[in-house]
Amino acid sequence: MKNKMMSIAEAASTIESGRILLIAGSETALRHLPKGRWIGGTSVYFLTAEGGRCDEENVFVTVFDSATDCRIRHYGTDTLPGLAADRFGHGFSAILIPSFSKAHAQFAMEGAGYDSVFEQPLMGWITGTHLDEIGRTSPKVFDGTSGAAYDEGAILLHVELPATVRTELDIINLFEQDREADTIVFAADGFSAETAKVNGREVDFADYVSANALDTRLPLVADYAGAMINVSFQTVDRDTGRVQFYAPVVAGVEYRLAKSTGDYATAFAERISGEPGEQLSCNCILNYLYGDMEGKRTGGYTGPVTFGEIAYILLNQTLVHLDFERAEAAEVA
């Protein structure tokens, strides 16, 4: 497998070679690519071998050299629950969903209940735009076989692998609950909230966040049987009384603010030290911003910077990586 920033010309040549690809780039760059066996999603922020960067001209390409076949499918909100039905017997699926779309909300709220969703690695990300374009330009996903671009639904690349190639999906999350912090429970599921129960008392949540000077660079964290799942703050508007999140809060779940990591950039650098093996990864835009990653190297964890990460379910402020391991034929016989 190969992860590399490529020029449009280099990416086009790779597509025309017939390889199976996953591509991230600006909408303009992706629209200049020829048809082929690839899917793509919009992002202009990347972690490269040379360091983090914003790049609207080139694209980040992952080449699945070990893949034996693929199926590319676009799922609307009505067909998204059946995404696992098109998988191969042995392989994985890459999924891309535009941020702020109906599919984004649907997958976030219902994806964990989709049939067979956890039976094979499902890895991907929420596509985005330049930060200056949020609200003005819609994020896109691309079907390389047809050249079609979508701002709704999800595009999936179902990949078949030989029996000698195994995959393992994992995450790197800096955060855990601050056990000294208040407990926060919401009455309704959603990407926003106006009220919450804090230590059992109902409060105006925007006022609570502001009055207590919560560090909104830190996410809210829920503890699901030892698995820490983040919900990141997007905006806090005291005028409207609404707090927006990058992932939905779940009614009845107990959240606490994350424990401070100290210097964010240093803490993140320590967690990603070392060189991983063959892998596909993506990292959250908030890690990129708060970790001050522009111009900084992240070892072998290169890939697009995204507006949400998918490791079976939607995640926030997390690095997701899918690792590939080649086994001897005798081991899988």
What Å distances lie between residue 157 and 46, 163, 210, 315, CA to CA? 21, 19, 42, 20
| Phi, then psi, of 329 in degrees rounded to 5 | -55, -35
Provide the β-strand partners of residue 2. 63
Tokens of 156: 């999936």
DSSP 270: H
pTM (2 decimals)? 0.92
- Which residues in 83-188 belong to E strands, given as ranges? 91-98, 122-127, 141-143, 148-150, 154-160, 165-172, 184-185
Measured between alpha carbons, how far is residue 314 from residues 99, 241, 289 in Å?
11, 26, 20
DSSP state of 34: P
Residue with tokens 């990603």: 272
Q: Amino acid identity, residue 82?
A: G
Q: Render pLDDT for 74-106 as a digit per residue (tens, 0 to 9).
A: 999 999 999 999 999 999 999 999 998 999 999
Half-sphere exposure of 11 (CA within 13 A, CB side): 30
Pick the closest to residue 205 from 221, 224, 184, 175 (CA basis).
184
Identify the bridge partners of residue 1 per DSSP, sorted by sequence position. Answer: none
Question: What pLDDT tens digit does each residue of the chain (333 aa) get?
Answer: 789 999 999 999 999 999 999 999 999 999 999 999 999 999 999 999 888 999 999 999 999 999 999 999 999 999 999 999 999 999 999 999 999 899 999 999 999 999 999 999 999 999 999 999 988 999 999 999 999 999 999 999 999 999 999 999 999 898 999 999 999 999 999 999 999 999 999 999 999 999 999 999 999 999 988 889 999 999 999 999 999 999 899 999 999 999 988 877 777 777 776 666 788 999 999 999 988 889 887 777 899 999 999 999 999 999 999 999 987 643 544
What is the helix (H) or strand (E) element at residue 200, kind and residue range?
none
Other beta carbons within 10 Å of 239: 6
Residue 172 phi, psi dihedral angles, 5° rounding = -120, 115
CA atoms within 13 A of residue 39's CA, in its CB half-sphere: 24
What's the pLDDT score for residue 276?
Answer: 65
